[in-house]
Amino acid sequence: MKKLKWGMIGGGEGSQIGPAHRLGAQADGLFALTAAALDVNPEKGREYAQRLGCAADRAYGDWTEMLAGERGRDDRVDLVTVATPNSTHFEITKAFLEAGFNVLCEKPMTMTVEEGEEIVRVARASGRICAVNYCYSAYPMVREMRHMVASGQIGKVRLVITNFSHGHHGNAADADNPRVRWRYDPAMAGISGQFADCGIHALHMASFITGDEVRSLSADFASTIDSRTLEDDAMVNFRMEGGTVGRLWTSSVAIGRQHGFDIQVFGETGGMRWASEQPNQVYYTPVGGRTQIMEKGESGLSDEATRLSRVAIAHPEGFPLAVANIYVDLAAAIAGENRAALPSAADGLRSMAAVHAAVDSAGRGGVWVDARPTMFR
């Protein structure tokens, strides 16, 4: 098994997202970090890249340097991960796709709908993989839920309820802390705060599990701390193409909630729920029957869930292995296999369209608006 060559942009020393990608790419021995531009400070980035095993000539000072260096090589990296600040995702992803690289982009893929549409076009034209890191979708039991819907085990889906709410930005005394503040400042975060940060994970999950897309939505935004411009709490009601009713709550001021991402899916013949803090179980209830606790690794699960589980039942697998599953699927896709479940540029675009729709709706008293990107209408 020859390891794939992996390049990383952003995610430098001390970042939160960097370790998750490195664990994810390396855990299964599928990727070897080969080229990197890790830090906004070129020297620190070069030094850290070499410490992580990159050769000196592939430890780059910034992404433009890396693009220039890699595009000319015969042994260029097989995949580039973009984990830079949000506002730079668009131009980096676009440039690497155009140069013929496969890309895994952190969410949000872009800051505007127009940029998102551009990425979708560029990705199509390039024939390269452009994936977006909606990694929660790669938990085995989330894949199982998607399989259960697709195979009709809960009937037509009537209702999706999802929450992604935490309380880590709930301390007003801490609101001016730069690590918190930028998220609620339009100059840095764009048009949306909490919904663009966490809400889109939940919205993607609703589509991912149901196999359906959001058509329209109505939003209610709130900024509960005076100094904030953007929302730190949002409720979004939505309708999917197939008629499913959706409800999504996201908050960063829900003090006492840690990382409370959960989803409930209710169909004609059953319901199920999953929570990211206990990701190895699904609670499934057939209509008229008892709730059953499904376990990652139990016999009889779908091939997809079984394939992405690594250790025996009831040995918990956590967030870094969900990210690893994204890389497992990327390795297969790079090898030419079909991996339809990989979150794509189209998913990234849909998220951005939903963000814009939600901001629009919330600003106009919750009117229902079309949530689809123009190019998908």
Q: Which of 5, 7, 10, 22 binds its own copies (CB under 8 A)?
A: 22
Using the rule CB under 8 A, is 188 a contact of its own copies? no
Bridge partners of 162, per DSSP, are 248, 263
Closer to its own copies by CB, 118 or 370: give it: 370
Between 311 and 375, whose beta carbon lies closer to its own copies?
311
Contacts to its own copies from residues 257-316, by CB under 8 A: 257-260, 264, 266-268, 270-273, 276-280, 283-288, 290-295, 298, 310-316
Least Cβ distance, residue 243 to its own copies (angstroms): 9
Which of 86, 121, 128, 124 is CA-nearest to residue 105?
A: 86
Is the CB of 15 or the CB of 88 nearer to its own copies?
A: 15
Q: Which is nearer to its own copies, 93 or 163 (CB)?
A: 163
Distance (Å, whole) CA 243 – CA 117: 25
Please report how the helices 113-126 and 345-363 are oriented relative to each other, as an axis angle in degrees rounded to 10.
170
199: tokens are 């809400």
Q: Which of 247, 262, 304, 307 binds its own copies (CB under 8 A)?
A: 247
Taking the C-alpha atoms of residue 161 and residue 353, their distance in angstroms, rounded to an integer, is: 20
- For residue 114, give the amino acid letter: E
> Is 335 an interacting residue with respect to its own copies (CB under 8 A)?
no
- Which x/- pattern, by CB under 8 A, does the window 199-218 give for its own copies? -------------------x
Instruction: List, as one string, the DSSP characters of 221-263.
Output: EE--STT-SS-SEEEEEEEETT--EEEEEEES--TT-SSEEEE
CB of 98 to its own copies, least distance (A): 30
Residue choice 71, 158, 181, 307 for contact with its own copies (CB under 8 A): 158
Contact (Cβ atoms closer than 8 angstroms) between residue 247 and residue 160 = yes
φ and ψ of 58, to 5 deg: -120, 15
Identity of the residue, 69 or 320, whose beta carbon is nearer to its own copies in the bound complex: 320
Q: Minimum CB separation from its own copies for residue 270, in Å?
A: 6
23 binds its own copies per the rule CB under 8 A = yes
Q: How far is the CB of 174 from its own copies (least distance, A)?
A: 8
The smaller minimum CB distance to its own copies, of residues 123 and 253, is found at 253
Give yes or no for residue 72 binding its own copies (CB under 8 A).
no
CB of 314 vs its own copies, minimal distance in Å: 3
C-alpha 131/C-alpha 99 separation (Å) is 16
Q: How far apart are CA 292 and CA 262, in angstroms?
A: 17
Residue with Cβ nearer its own copies (80 or 154):
154
**Contacts (CB under 8 A) with its own copies, residues 35-64:** 51-53
**Largest Cα span, the chain:** 64
Residues near 72 by Cβ (< 8 Å), separated by ≥ 6?
Answer: none
